[in-house]
Structure 1
């Protein structure tokens, strides 16, 4: 869980709005919200909130990436969504603090903005543009969750891995990033040996380079051809532009 030791003391209001939801707000709403935020540095693998838990805070990712994991039997996981600088986490607190059914785990180290849930709820009711933006984003996130759940049930692992890598590329705006076999196995809901086989297949086709968790997309167009059509559907629903 997050600790005070991870807080960057630079006031959020002094930073550029790197999060697209915040950047889209009128200056008056954005300044009011940022004044209540603190900038937090998080590490890969860090837990933001657990499934079934009403989060104490709402999070706006800046340059980090967060996986939303469905949890079975308290142990097995499957990624059903990913949130980057295009969105936010913890919107369910707007509905009487209802516990979230998903685990939120940092996929890539970086920074996010954090605001206490109760305070965010108060501000939300004063901000009509934020209300509209979050309504549209929540619809897009739900479409993403549904499509990825369908993908996980019906599509081959190699195509699913290609989708995950492309979605990560889109949000980080880089062809190179770090994802361990263990984390990919948690995301895809498979054993590590399955990830190894799928990654090797993509390497053999010279679509990616993969070594010790360091991934480089060598042929983005070819990787898109291998990925199932869910990638295009999720991309369209999310309208990722960060």
Structure 2
């Protein structure tokens, strides 16, 4: 199915009737507060899926999931997924691994939003987006970036201006183009490297486990 920009997959408290496996684009996982404000705590691209609570036997969502960029995804009825999990241990294990990586990233992003400067968080976020969409060109408004980073629009304007002045990105009317990825990685806080290394290590361990299990 096709997902337009800002298409809502589920809201906090919704019953999870479907799960989504991204083929392209990106889904943002947001914590929503009683006053309506929201902050991003996770990103899902083609490496993951939307509907993690179902893996643990839960039926409702604890957050909002929306498409940030035009996306395509496979949608599966939650009951169909659950029936397959009972029959396929390898699928269950792989989705559990996705859940663990997502939990690790959520914890790191929460710490990042509390401890690091806006321009560092913006650099980290742009890198995470580029990784998931396999592109250095992104369409993102300042207002939306502010929601994702949990900060004011004016702060995003200043941070984006710093990166643009340094020749790292070009930002014009909601279009962001990464010009110097190496420098963007240097500018980003250490959270990007921590998350990337941990995810790669776990995926390597998972491949080794599957290889060993296949041989035995």
Q: Deviations over 1:185-207 (max 9, x none)?
A: 11011121111111001111111
Partner of 1:11: none
Match of 2:62 in 1: 101
Secondary structure of the equivalent of 1:141?
helix
Say yes or no: does 1:57 pair with 2:18.
yes
1:132 to 93, 101, 104: 93
**Are 2:5 and 2:70, in contact at CA under 8 Å, matched by a contact in 1?**
yes
SS of 2:5's partner is coil
> Aligned residue for 1:194?
155
Match of 1:118 among 79, 83, 104: 79
Q: Is the 8 A contact 1:61 1:85 kept in 2?
A: yes
Does the aligned pair in 2 maintain the 1:141–1:238 contact within 8 Å?
no
Name the TM-score, length of structure 2 as normaliser. Answer: 0.89
Q: Report how many aligned residue pairs link the two structures.
A: 201
Q: Which runs of 5+ in 2 are unaligned?
A: 204-216
The Cα offsets for residues 81-127 of structure 1, whole Å up to 9 and x where unpaired, read as 10000011102124444322111010110200001111211111111
Report the equivalent of 1:185.
146
Q: What SS does structure 1 have at the residue aligned with 2:47?
A: coil
Q: Give the alignment of 1:184-223 within 5 angstroms.
A: 184-223=145-184
How far off its partner does 1:54 sit?
2.2
Take 2:27 and 2:71, find their aligned partners in 1: how far apart are those partners? 10
Q: Which runs of 4+ in 1 moved over 4 A?
A: none
1:228 pairs with one of 180, 189, 204? 189
Checking the alignment, whether the CA contact within 8 Å between 2:25 and 2:69 is kept in structure 1 is yes
